[in-house]
Structure 1
Amino acid sequence: MKLKIDTFVLAIIATILIAYLFPAWGSKDSPIPLDLIGSIGISLIFFFYGLKLSPEKIKLGLKNWKLHALVQSTTFIIFPLTILLFRPFIQSENGEFIWLSFLFLAALPSTVSSSVVMVSMAKGNVPAAIFNASISGLIGIGITPLWMGFFLNNTSSEFELGSIYLKLLTEILAPVVIGIALQKYGSKYAQRYTKELSTFDKSIILLIIYKSFAESFEENVFTSVDILDLLFIGITTTALFYAIYYLTGILSKKLKFSLEDQITAQFCGTKKSLVHGTVFSKILFPASMPTGIILLPLMLFHASQIFIVSIIASKLAKRTP
Structure 2
Amino acid sequence: MSVISKLKKEWFLVGMVVATVLAVFTPDLGKSGGVLHLDTITVFGIALVFFLHGLGLSPKAIMEGVSNWKLHLYVQGATFVAYPILWLVFGHTFLTYMPAALAFGFCYLFVLPSTISSSVAMTAIGKGNLPGAIFNASLSSIIGVFITPLLIQLFMGMEGAEMDLLDSVLSISKMLLLPMVLGQLMRPVLLEWTQKHKSVVNKLDKYVILLIVYSAFCDSIDHGIWSDFSPALLAVSALICLVVLMVMVHGIQWGARKVGFSHQDEVAAVFCGTKKTLAAGIPMAKVIFGHDPNLGMILLPIMLYHPIQIFYCAVLANKYAKVPLEAGEVK
- Scaled by the length of structure 1, what TM-score is found? 0.71
**1:80 Cα deviation (Å)?**
3.2
CA distance in 1, matches of 2:202, 2:112: 24
Which amino acid counterpart does residue 73 of structure 1 have in structure 2?
L
2:271 corresponds to which residue? 271
**1:218 Cα deviation (Å)?**
1.9
Q: 1:179 aligns with which of 176, 183, 188?
A: 183
CA distance in 1, matches of 2:87, 2:81: 10
CA distance in 1, matches of 2:87, 2:170: 30
Task: Provide, for residues 268-312 of structure 1, a one-character-per-residue CA deviation record: whole Å limited to 9, x for no partner.
Answer: 4323499xx69x64356429667743513422540564488689x
Query: Which range is displaced more, 35-44 or 291-300?
Result: 291-300
**1:171 Cα deviation (Å)?**
2.2
Which amino acid counterpart does residue 232 of structure 1 have in structure 2?
I
1:209 corresponds to which residue? 213
1:232 corresponds to which residue? 240
Is 1:78 matched up with 2:58?
A: no
CA distance in 1, matches of 2:314, 2:104: 24
Specify the SS of the correspondent of 1:226. helix
**1:53 Cα deviation (Å)?**
1.1
How many percent identity over aligned positions?
15
1:113 corresponds to which residue? 124
Q: 1:293 aligns with which of 304, 311, 319?
A: 304
Is 1:38 matched up with 2:42?
A: yes
**1:25 Cα deviation (Å)?**
0.9
**1:145 Cα deviation (Å)?**
3.6
Is 1:140 matched up with 2:137?
A: yes
Task: Provide, for residues 63-94 of structure 1, a one-character-per-residue CA deviation record: whole Å limited to 9, x for no partner.
Answer: xx7xx433332222234311111223333322
Which amino acid counterpart does residue 147 of structure 1 have in structure 2?
G
Q: Map 1:68-107 to 2 at 5 A.
A: 68-88=68-88, 89-90=90-91, 91=95, 92-104=100-112
Q: Is the 8 A contact 1:107 1:147 kept in 2?
A: no
Q: 1:292 to 1:212 in 2, by over 3 A?
A: farther
Q: Is the 8 A contact 1:24 1:30 kept in 2?
A: yes
Unaligned runs of 5+ in 1: 117-128, 253-260
CA distance in 1, matches of 2:216, 2:83: 24
**1:229 Cα deviation (Å)?**
2.1
CA distance in 2, matches of 1:310, 1:196: 16
CA distance in 1, matches of 2:258, 2:328: 22
Q: Is the 8 A contact 1:104 1:148 kept in 2?
A: no
Q: Is the 8 A contact 2:278 2:303 kept in 1?
A: no
Q: 2:192 aligns with which of 166, 188, 192?
A: 188
Query: Which range is displaced more, 298-307 or 88-97?
Result: 298-307
2:291 corresponds to which residue? none
CA distance in 1, matches of 2:173, 2:257: 35
CA distance in 2, matches of 1:58, 1:195: 23
